[in-house]
Structure 1
């Protein structure tokens, strides 16, 4: 069942106080300053999905701030994730300022001061839940407050789509599934936070090893493609670039360097062929993803101490 709080029945002079109380009761105590001389109608429609509260907010321009005094007085420990639909939000917390556009989402932690400014009419969906449900460390959460997330990375895009669907169907979620759905939402968010923070869980070495193996197999199948990029590799495995780099740190090498090593080794084997029909240096370089012949010659010499042509000639002399 939805709970609706609206300023529609009120006169313009009474709307500011009502809205301040409505926002504070729905989320956490907060100071709200409306920017219109005659505030437009503002509405909050809230419903429960297990331990999570899902609220659709539609209102006019305003600024809001949660102060240290409020935090000391109420002691609430909650996280609010906000998905923007219309308008732009300027968020600040933990020393960061961010602009959150439609289709993006961001987070705030009620345990520390934060502010937000919405300079035009807006619509958003807010997902409000206990801090304890998230299961991430304080440094991890601090690292991502007032940070916009959207479609730029696979995991954040996945979560944005999930939030949009959840916001649209929260009213129809069966009570028996509500807590589980809320837990899944928090788990997806925790994965995103930990990924953005750059943490590889040391308690899961098998999972890390399996992911690294899948990534390597993917790369090897595409070595011949000169356009193979780290962005493509990360996207194909639904991880961030930061996570991809962390995976290869366990090997003591960068991802780009590992790819180059694989290409060079395959080129070396091709150049070592002693048959009269052995391919030329240019053909070998191109066939293993080197688009620039001079670059290939330079990195080959650095790796093996000879230029590709010198290596090929030495291989043929050795066979004779």
Structure 2
């Protein structure tokens, strides 16, 4: 399955200010967009998107802007995919995993869309490939630690990865569906190797930890609403020590921090999807292990910069509810359904 579209093309000059909301709305599943006030009159942008069934490829050119994935956006959209972006033209400053890394033309960024990041860009042209985590070897465990790594186009391996992504973007309009899916699978293998080769992934350690690490992550996600979920119970269930469990989750801040953030992210989604209906804030607080609504509200605001009540009151009516049946084919030609495209990626 390869579906062309949607395509968004925005001109500049006098129509500039009216194009900014259209661009923000189009990329809303992935980015909060900021554009300098003095640049709005001449903002230009074009994005062509292809859905391959097991990946999404975007060919984008735009004026200078800032793209950000805040913790709130990560929680609200629930996208757990991996992305790689090559800068064909233009420079950027990538902020991810506590580091600031400049990007030059030809550089490739590895991005975990389940983690926050931001990109400050000059006028640019780029190819972005988005792949579901389960398409990667070991469920993408290597790429958890490679989030924010930039492969330099001036270096041999970075050039190899960049040439692949560049060729993928150039040929995608002409690939048959089976060819496109095969290309996405090959890209996942290459990016997984890139995560290890970058040095951030420490491949020997990852290959040893991956099966139990992924099993524990799956268990945590399945039991995230259970009051019985605890470090001690996880250690007992999987036969690991507390120190060993911490080492497994050290790249994510430790297992307790991982559970805390997953609980807050789940609470955010329940509040947002329920809108003005559904469970009360106090019920959600107790459900996710907080002793009082006040302590829940404090932790929630520190994580997302807003209160649970604000999220509940301002929830968008069009957020996709959990359990909504998946359509057999992605909708073609419209940015209104782009979020559906993202959710419908398969391995």
**Structure-2-length-normalised TM-score:** 0.53
Shift in Å, 1:50:
4.1
Shift in Å, 1:103:
0.7
SS of aligned partner of 1:142: helix
Q: CA RMSD in A?
A: 2.4
Counterpart check, 1:109 vs 2:138: no
Instruction: Evaluate the alpha carbon distance shift between residue 8 and residue 184 of structure 1 in structure 2; reply closer, same or farther with a 3 A threshold.
Output: same
SS of aligned partner of 1:186: helix
Between the aligned partners of 1:153 and 1:143, the Cα distance in structure 2 is: 21
Task: Provide structure 1 residue ranges, at least 5 long, that are not aligned to the other structure.
Answer: 205-320
Between the aligned partners of 2:16 and 2:103, the Cα distance in structure 1 is: 29
Structure with higher Rg: it is 1
Partner of 1:143: 145
Pairs aligned (count): 200
2:204 to 181, 200, 207: 200
Counterpart check, 1:64 vs 2:67: yes
Instruction: Evaluate the alpha carbon distance shift between residue 166 and residue 42 of structure 1 in structure 2; reply closer, same or farther with a 3 A threshold.
Output: same
Any residues of structure 2 matched to 1:1-320 within 5 Å, and which? 1-8=4-11, 11-24=15-28, 28-35=29-36, 36-118=39-121, 120-136=122-138, 140-151=142-153, 153-196=155-198, 197-200=201-204
1:48–1:170 CA contact under 8 A, matched in 2: no
SS of aligned partner of 1:37: helix
Instruction: Evaluate the alpha carbon distance shift between residue 155 and residue 32 of structure 1 in structure 2; reply closer, same or farther with a 3 A threshold.
Output: same
Instruction: Evaluate the alpha carbon distance shift between residue 100 and residue 20 of structure 1 in structure 2; reply closer, same or farther with a 3 A threshold.
Output: same
Instruction: Evaluate the alpha carbon distance shift between residue 77 and residue 174 of structure 1 in structure 2; reply closer, same or farther with a 3 A threshold.
Output: same
Shift in Å, 1:11:
2.2
2:92–2:104 CA contact under 8 A, matched in 1: yes
Between the aligned partners of 1:138 and 1:185, the Cα distance in structure 2 is: 13
Instruction: Evaluate the alpha carbon distance shift between residue 3 and residue 190 of structure 1 in structure 2; reply closer, same or farther with a 3 A threshold.
Output: same
2:133–2:139 CA contact under 8 A, matched in 1: no
- The higher relative CO (CA closer than 8 Å, separation ≥ 6) is in 2
Between the aligned partners of 2:63 and 2:142, the Cα distance in structure 1 is: 33
Instruction: Evaluate the alpha carbon distance shift between residue 67 and residue 155 of structure 1 in structure 2; reply closer, same or farther with a 3 A threshold.
Output: same
**Structure-1-length-normalised TM-score:** 0.57
Shift in Å, 1:97:
1.2
Task: Provide structure 2 residue ranges, at least 5 long, that are not aligned to the other structure.
Answer: 209-347
Deviations 1:35-56 (A, max 9, x none): 2131422110112334111111
Partner of 1:291: none
2:94–2:101 CA contact under 8 A, matched in 1: yes
Bigger drift between 142-151 and 73-82 goes to 142-151
1:2–1:171 CA contact under 8 A, matched in 2: no
Between the aligned partners of 1:115 and 1:151, the Cα distance in structure 2 is: 21
Bigger drift between 9-18 and 90-99 goes to 9-18
1:106–1:149 CA contact under 8 A, matched in 2: yes
